[in-house]
Structure 1
Amino acid sequence: MAEVLVNIVGVLMILAVIWWFWLGPKRSASKATPSTDNLQILVKDGVYEPDLIRLPAGRTATLHFHREDPSPCSEWVLFPDLEVSAQLALNQDTLVEIPKAEPGEYPFNCQMQMYRGTLILE
């Protein structure tokens, strides 16, 4: 009986992790105004907030990542299509320079791809 209970609890924990990182509620989008391309992104509780960012294409921008989550997965942010990465300091702002790029959607994530977001250049 104890083995069955342990297995049920284990499966429930696995389902909770899957829901939290991949199926959970998404945060609302935020858009930086053309005059201020300095947008703060909070890294907390397993998500980037906001996780959808809209910026003008063809211009450089600075994103301010503020990491409050001490988990090792939240330590890096990667923009693979833009060849940009940064190590995020705990409880501090880290500036991430986004280079000029063509219009399109550019995913960003942590090194394990559990934290995910999208940068949309329009």
Structure 2
Amino acid sequence: MSILVNIVGLGLIALIVWWFWLYRPTAAAQSNSGAVSITVDDGVYSPSRVSVKSNQPVVLRFMRKDPSPCAAMVIFDDLNISEELPVGKPKEISLKVEKPGTYAFTCQMKMYRGELVVEG
């Protein structure tokens, strides 16, 4: 019995390590029209990866469907942006990023995670 408990414990540790440190978003959207809709639901941003051109204005339209407190905010640490997301109402965030790179966006607890990829 104790071997089974140890195996389950190790499996849970591996899952936690993967989720918080090894997971990379795969769903992607490109902004051709200047606007991207992102759904916040069930612990994820969908799409979780958004590609935009540098020096081009873009609007990220977040639609929060998840009522959990963790989903209440979206934070772009590297861009100094922090916005509240109301449940059931779209929240638009206008950006114009000059420097190419990958910018993470997360909830305040960093459980919801996404990437804004700015291409030169």
SS of 1:54's partner is strand
Name the residue aligned to 2:69.
Answer: 72
The letter for the 2-side match of 1:89 is P
Secondary structure in structure 2 of the residue aligned to 1:81: helix
Q: Please, which runs of 5 or more residues in structure 2 have no aligned partner? A: none
- Structure 1 residue matching 2:66: 3-state secondary structure: coil
Is the 8 Å Cα contact of residues 27 and 49 (structure 1) preserved in structure 2?
A: no
The number of equivalent residue pairs is 115
Q: Which residue of 81, 90, 93 corresponds with 1:93?
A: 90
* Structure-1 separation of matches of 2:104 and 2:23: 18
- Structure 1's unaligned 5+ residue stretches are none
Q: Pairwise CA RMSD of aligned residues?
A: 2.6
SS in 2 for 1:105: strand
* Percent of aligned pairs sharing the same letter: 35
Runs of 4+ in 1 over 3 A off after TM superposition: 17-27
1:31 aligns with 2:23: no
Letter of the 1:47 counterpart:
V
- TM-score, length-normalised on structure 1? 0.78
